[in-house]
Amino acid sequence: MDTLSAAEAAGILHVNVKRVQALARAGKLPATRVGRKWLFVRSELERLLSPGRAQVVAPVEISARNQLRGRVTELNVDGVMAEVRVQVGDQELVSVITRASVERMRLAVGDQVFAVIKSTEIMIGKG
């Protein structure tokens, strides 16, 4: 059995060590407390990170109200940046994000995602 410290678990989950400890304390992340330290079983964390389960590990509340559910139709990764095309209904959105974000989220064509739009202005066009 491969056990991890809170810092190692935080690295795998891509969250802060304090967040990992809080999730373990709340019973939302499988862990064992030994003295003052938390221990995590690597295979249990990896199971939680399997496709479709990532939201269970660390749900995030965000202030943006403009959240559109769509499906990734195309990924163009070049150097440190990536272009992600998302089909939302009969419209297509294009987002440019870092390659590291694509890899961390394990994005692939066909994945169900949320496009979050946060802006101080919206332009309207006609004709």
Instruction: State the average pLDDT over residues 54-63.
Output: 54
- pLDDT at position 56 over 50: no
Please state the domain extents for the chain: 3-57, 66-117
91: helix, coil or strand?
strand
- The percentage of residues in the chain with a pLDDT greater than 70, rounded to a whole number, is 83
d(CA 71, CA 115): 10
Q: How confident is the model at residue 54 (pLDDT cuts 50, 70, 90)?
A: very low
User: Are residues 34 and 26 in contact, defined by beta-carbon separation less than 8 angstroms?
Assistant: no
d(CA 18, CA 77): 32
Instruction: State the average pLDDT over residues 65-77.
Output: 88
Tell which CATH architecture fits domain 66-117: Beta Barrel (2.40)
* Tokens representing residue 126 in the block: 């006609």
CATH fold for domain 3-57:
Multidrug-efflux Transporter Regulator; Chain: A; Domain 2 (1.10.1660)
